[in-house]
């Protein structure tokens, strides 16, 4: 009952996703060890600590439930569904890989990282907060801020000498004031944004189900941009990491710029105009292009 086998789709390589997941030693919401991922997840209101490792040449994943009681099929299905979402199993990569046959940049990253899938943030509230934390600061400091927030306000379980955390619930963050977060070295602005968004979640003004039902890029973006703290970059980031929008493209993202500079062997980062021109070819596959470009940064 505490071992679940999940078949993987075509074009999936767990090991490629693991490189992305293992990019920061300061990551506090999962652990990568010996080719496996260990993560505390929330499914049907219950906490499970799961251990995910590929078997049979990555044709399947073996999910072991290390902590939390799995007593029926509903829970098993919920855990499977969580993992499928996390590794974006439902998206077909056919169109993206076709792009690789006619676009040199796409070809370059696809050849190197074939089987990489967008690693999602399943918890939408976490997606909002993480993207706001990451605005205009270096990634290392962003991880530090997230770690402080999670270790103080997130639920956790203790297992074999290690503590594993969930991202704090909106109710928890909504109850804080700006000074609480400034104490963690959030800027006043970021503290306001994060608390404000927590309140919107709690008041039912940001409803996950409603956002997920909007599948038009433009409509969704308009809705996200109304939220204080969400600008162009953040809206696209959330659409990419949480909402399965293939057109999501955070064009001002410094990571994209640096990856393109490296791949194209430029002496300076490309201008926005240049990126707009080259990205015309990526239409409909911008989200995967972005994620593959980010992956390039962790070679």
Q: Give contact residues for DNA (rule: CB under 7 A).
A: 130-131, 134-142, 144, 182, 185, 187-189, 227-235, 237, 241, 252-255, 258
Closer to DNA by Cβ: residue 122 or 144: 144
* Residue 45 to residues 75, 99, 101, Cα–Cα distance (Å): 10, 40, 44
Cβ proximity to DNA: between 182 and 212 the closer is 182
Contact 149, 181 (CB under 8 A): yes
What's the CA angle centered on 15, arms 9 and 17, to 5 degrees? Answer: 75
CB of 237 to DNA, least distance (A): 5
DSSP 8: P
- Catalytic status, residue 215: no
Cβ contacts of 254 within 8 Å, gap of 6 or more: none
Nearer to DNA, 110 or 191 (CB): 191
| Active-site residue identified among 103, 123, 236, 253 | 253
CA 42, distance to chain mean position in Å, is 16
The SS3 of residue 246 is: coil
Contacts of 112 (CB under 8 A, 6+ apart): 296, 299
CB-nearer residue toward DNA: 95 or 138: 138
Least Å distance, CB 182 to DNA, is 6
SS3 97: helix
CB of residue 90 vs DNA: minimum separation in angstroms?
A: 21
CB 175, min distance to DNA, A: 22
Contact by Cβ (8 Å): 40, 157? yes
Residues recognised as catalytic? 253
């Amino acid at each position: 009952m505490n071992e679940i086998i999940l078949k993987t789709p075509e074009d999936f390589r767990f090991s490629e996703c693991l490189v992305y997941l293992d990019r920061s030693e300061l990551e506090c919401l999962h652990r990568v060890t010996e080719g496996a991922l260990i993560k505390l997840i929330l499914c049907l209101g219950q906490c499970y600590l799961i251990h995910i490792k590929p078997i049979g040449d990555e044709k399947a994943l073996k999910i072991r439930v290390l902590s939390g009681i799995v007593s029926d099929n509903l829970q098993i299905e919920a855990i499977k569904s969580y993992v499928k979402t996390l590794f974006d199993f439902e998206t077909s990569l056919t169109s993206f890989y076709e792009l690789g046959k006619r676009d040199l940049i796409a070809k370059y990253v696809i050849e190197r990282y074939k089987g990489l899938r967008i690693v999602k943030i399943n918890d939408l509230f976490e997606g909002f907060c993480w993207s706001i934390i990451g605005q205009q600061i270096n990634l290392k400091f962003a991880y530090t801020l997230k770690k402080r927030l999670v270790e103080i306000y997130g639920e956790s379980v203790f297992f074999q000498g290690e503590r594993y955390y969930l991202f704090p619930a909106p109710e928890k963050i909504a109850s804080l004031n700006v000074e609480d977060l400034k104490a963690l070295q959030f800027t006043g602005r970021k503290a306001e944004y994060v608390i404000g968004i927590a309140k919107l979640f709690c008041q039912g003004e940001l409803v996950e189900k409603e956002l997920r039902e909007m599948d038009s890029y433009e409509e969704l973006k308009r809705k996200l941009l109304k939220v204080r703290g969400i600008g162009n970059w953040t809206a696209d980031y959330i659409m990419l990491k949480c909402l399965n929008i293939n057109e999501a493209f955070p064009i001002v993202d410094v990571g994209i710029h640096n990856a393109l500079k490296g791949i194209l062997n430029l002496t300076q980062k490309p201008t926005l105009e240049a990126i707009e021109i080259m990205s015309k070819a990526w239409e409909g596959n911008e989200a995967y292009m972005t994620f593959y470009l980010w992956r390039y940064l962790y070679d």
